[in-house]
């Protein structure tokens, strides 16, 4: 019997909505906008979160530290600086073999040269790197291959182009197998890097790398700029909870290799990334609160509309309520009728709002590099909040209707 009563309440509700199309449409408009706001806000926030975290991971600084050359700060060490060979490629083996908490170590030397191909010339940063550079910084190629150990050992004149430099020199053509001139030397392109970071997360280092070219470190020393000195040692650790201990270990190994001279600096990029991630997390949480509040206010406005419609409906249907009570309808049946009507109205608005939100998300998706997938959380919250707002808005009118006596209702 309860199922029959509920079904009849739904049928009567749809008949009432259809009988007052304009009024119901205006009421639905408020709920639709509120639900649309919830779905779109949550989807945008989730989409931005994915883009930000993907961008940060794409930078390749997760668990990474830079060791760079610098003059000693201690006056005594400055006087004895000549006994240290400085930061060189030989330090690569010192750190790699001596440190227990490192995943990978790479050496990098940097300079600027004119890079020419097909008559197009650009001044770009040339990175001389060891093959392990890809392991340290999670570098991948979109076409071709990365350096192999034999490239380094045989000092092959091969190059991997940054994504933006490849587009500048070759346009939409595939550069793999073509030749580029770096300074006065010819190099064969063996690979093109994937893009690093994205519009939400990037750094000067990765931008210059995308606009530059990478070659084996040994080839760099032979064909571009001689010497054993390197600009940077990149080290990567999986022990992100003890970054200060890893840093101390690297400093100890290098100080011993440099005969007690601290002519280097260990820059804890990984720690800076962790701090930045915490700041971004707080910022995104604050934006979520702000946008959720805006969406909540929109749904509140929709709830007020439903409340107004239910009050009007109550006044219009006093005679019907009195007649139903006179022939035996219970307070619960009347309460159910009005609650179902308000909830159905809000649920219908919620479904339409979710559909419109899905459409807008699809239209906005091309503006995001990774797309803008519709958030199931946003859909769930949108419909849930809409139904909750409708049920809450209908409680008072429903109670008022159910408590009327037949005489009061018929008199009205």
Altogether, the residues listed in the chain come to a count of 412
Q: Are residues 293 and 218 in the same domain?
A: no
Last residue of a domain, one of 218, 238, 270: 270
Question: Alpha-carbon distance 163 to 197, whole Å?
Answer: 12
| Domain termination residue (choose one: 270, 285, 304) | 270
Q: Are 372 and 17 in contact (CB under 8 A)?
A: no
Count of domains observed in the chain: 2
104 lies in the same domain as 228: yes
HSE (CB half, 13 Å, CA atoms) of 321?
29
User: Are both 245 and 100 inside the same structural domain?
Assistant: yes
**Same-domain check for residues 109 and 123:** yes
Residues 216 and 246 in one domain: yes
CA 17/CA 352 separation, integer angstroms: 15
Do residues 34 and 183 share a domain? no
Residues in the chain predicted with pLDDT less than 50, given as ranges, are 1-4
> Which pLDDT does position 166 carry in this prediction?
94
Q: Does 110 lie in the same domain as 45? A: no
pLDDT of residue 409: 57
pTM confidence score: 0.67
Predicted local distance difference test score (pLDDT) of residue 8: 64
Q: What is the pLDDT of residue 412?
A: 54
The pLDDT score that the predictor gives to residue 219 is 93
Q: Looking at the structure, do residues 78 and 157 belong to the same domain, yes or no?
A: yes
Q: Are both 52 and 81 inside the same structural domain?
A: no
User: Does residue 82 sit in the same domain as residue 215?
Assistant: yes
Claim to verify: residue 52 and residue 6 sit in the same structural domain: yes
CB 231 within 8 A of CB 109: yes
Domain shared by 159 and 115, yes or no: yes
Instruction: Report the greatest alpha carbon distance in the chain.
Output: 108
The parent domain of residue 259 ranges over 64-270
- With a CB cutoff of 8 Å and minimum separation 6, the contacts of 259 are 80, 83, 84
Q: Report pLDDT for 1.
A: 41
Instruction: Map residue 179 onto helix, strand or coil.
Output: strand
Give the single-character DSSP code of 374.
P
How many alpha carbons lie under 13 Å from residue 261 in its C-beta half-sphere? 20
Q: Are 398 and 342 in contact (CB under 8 A)?
A: yes
Which pLDDT score, from 0 to 100, does residue 128 have? 93
Q: Which of 221, 252, 270 is the last residue of a domain?
A: 270
Between the CA of residue 87 and those of 191, 261, 312, what are the distances in Å? 29, 11, 82
The predicted pLDDT at position 2 comes to: 45
Please give the pLDDT value at position 9: 62
């Amino acid at each position: 019997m309860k199922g029959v009563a509920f079904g009849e309440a739904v049928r009567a509700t749809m008949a009432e909505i259809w009988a007052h199309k304009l009024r119901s449409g205006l009421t639905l408009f408020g709920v639709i906008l509120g639900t649309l706001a919830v779905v779109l806000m949550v989807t945008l926030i989730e989409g931005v979160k994915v883009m930000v975290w993907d961008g940060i991971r794409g930078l390749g600084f997760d668990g990474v530290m830079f060791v760079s050359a610098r003059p000693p700060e201690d006056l005594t060490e400055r006087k004895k600086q000549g006994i240290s060979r400085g930061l060189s490629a030989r330090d690569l083996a010192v750190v790699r073999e001596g440190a227990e908490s490192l995943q990978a170590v790479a050496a990098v030397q940097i300079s600027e040269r004119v890079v020419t191909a097909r008559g197009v010339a650009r001044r770009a940063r040339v990175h001389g790197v060891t093959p392990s550079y890809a392991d340290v910084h999670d570098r991948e190629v979109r076409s071709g291959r990365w350096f192999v150990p034999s490239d380094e050992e045989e000092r092959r004149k091969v190059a991997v182009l940054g994504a933006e430099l490849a587009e500048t020199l070759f346009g939409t053509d595939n550069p793999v197998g073509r030749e580029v001139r770096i300074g006065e030397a010819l190099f064969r392109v063996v690979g093109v890097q994937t893009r690093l970071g994205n519009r939400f997360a990037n750094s000067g280092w990765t931008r210059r790398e995308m606009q530059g070219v990478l070659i084996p470190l040994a080839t760099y020393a032979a064909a571009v700029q001689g010497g054993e000195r390197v600009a940077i040692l990149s080290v990567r650790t999986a022990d992100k909870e003890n970054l200060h201990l890893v840093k101390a270990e690297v400093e100890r190994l290098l100080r011993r290799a440099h005969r007690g001279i601290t002519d280097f600096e260990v820059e804890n990029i990984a720690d800076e990334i962790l701090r930045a991630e915490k700041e971004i997390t707080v910022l995104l949480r604050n934006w979520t609160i702000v946008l959720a509040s805006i969406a909540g206010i929109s749904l509140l406005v929709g709830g007020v509309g439903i409340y107004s419609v239910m009050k009007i409906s109550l006044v219009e249907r006093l005679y019907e309520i009195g007649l139903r009570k006179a022939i035996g309808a219970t307070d619960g049946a009347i309460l159910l009728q009005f609650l179902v009507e308000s909830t159905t109205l809000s649920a219908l608005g919620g479904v339409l709002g979710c559909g419109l939100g899905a459409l807008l998300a699809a239209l906005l998706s091309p503006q995001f590099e990774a797309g803008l997938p519709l958030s199931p959380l946003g859909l769930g919250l949108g419909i849930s909040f809409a139904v909750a707002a409708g049920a809450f808005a209908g409680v008072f009118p429903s109670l008022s209707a159910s408590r009327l006596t037949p005489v009061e209702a018929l008199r009205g």
